[in-house]
Amino acid sequence: MAQIYGYVRISTREQNEIRQLVAMREFGVMDRNIFLDKQSGKDFLRQAYQKLLKKLKPNDTLVIKSIDRLGRDYGEILEQWRIITKERRAAIVVLDIPLLDTRQKERDLTGTFIADLVLQILSYVAQTERDFIHQRQAEGIAAAKARGVKFGRPPLEIPALFQEVQEAWVRKEISAREAGRRLGVSYKTFQSWVCQ
């Protein structure tokens, strides 16, 4: 018997999946058939998605709230769409875009062409938005650095004991690891202080 599955994805643990879960239930997806990932859509190496993909059989239906919940990489979205609809021979329903509903067997060539075109456009938009996010982040970081904002942890202050420990290390009386241990830091930190 054909099954209806739902796929829900949120990018971070701080986001809330309730809106997507409500949409799945309203469509008629049973809770046991809803797969949830709490991670980025940059690729499809997501645990719940991979489990879902293995479960999909011919004539099953996969329901997603919007195309960006499936993923954000243009090429990958198109490839996964092909795998689901052609290899697994399952249908896909994108709730936010009625044109992206492959359940309609009676679709004519024009309807199929329009659905494929809409999918390609939306996948491109999802990828472009992801690229813009990265660009805006990089621009924001560059602007902050230009204003003198420091990122990361503040550097550790070199302890007063450093000179004595460094001299013992130079004389090869102790190793860098031992020097770090005596100073309460990692040996890599000790080595970075030596190079300053």
Catalytic residue flag (residue 175):
no
Tokens of 139: 């621009």
Q: How many CB atoms lie under 10 A from the CB of residue 63?
A: 23
Choice among 11, 40, 66, 186 that is catalytic: 11
Beta bridge partners of 5: 62
Rounded Cα gap, residues 40 and 46, in angstroms? 9
What span, in angstroms and rounded, lies between the C-alpha atoms of 79 and 72?
A: 12
- SS3 breakdown of the chain: % helix, strand, coil, rounded to 5? 55, 10, 35
Residue 166 near residue 192 (C-beta atoms within 8 A): no
Q: Containing H/E element for 91?
A: strand 91-94
Which are the catalytic amino acids? 11
